[in-house]
Amino acid sequence: GGGVTTELFKLDGVVRLSRATVSQDGPFSIFPGIDRHLLLLEGNGFFFNEIRFTETYTPLDFTGEEPIECKLVNGSCIDFNVMTQRAKARSRLSVQPIAINESLMIMADTDYKFIYDHSENTLYKLERADRIGLSTTRAKNLLIIDVSLKDA
């Protein structure tokens, strides 16, 4: 209720990737059974309960059961969210800096690997053993999300 969420990818009952504009103070939604990763993309951040969360591109991990009160620091912000159904999968969010005129090859070594480029609002989805080559003419940070499914 404190902003607008844009869903980038959803695998029903397993994982959801989204970005959100948080424009007012208030509680985060409760999601039982969900592990969450959150990362600040733009803005001055917020207080996450009593923790000051103001560093961009620094992941924060927590469970969906945790009651979280959000208090913005000087205006709205944009964050990136990974939500994973704990009983079905596990996920990891990391940041890959890429320099000016750098090229890199990324291979999926988990069931799913997602690469999110916030500067171009582009999400790449790889499945195990897929590869992608990326290059850039400017420095930026890529978000890397690894998802491993648990055996049924």
Q: 10-residue block means of pLDDT along the chain (152 residues)? A: 85 94 90 96 92 92 93 94 97 95 94 95 96 92 96 66
Nearest to 89 by CA among 59, 67, 110: 110
From CA 112, how far away is CA 11, in angstroms rounded?
11
pLDDT at 2: 63
pLDDT at 12: 87
Would you state the structure tokens that stand for residue 19, as one six-digit string? Answer: 């970005």
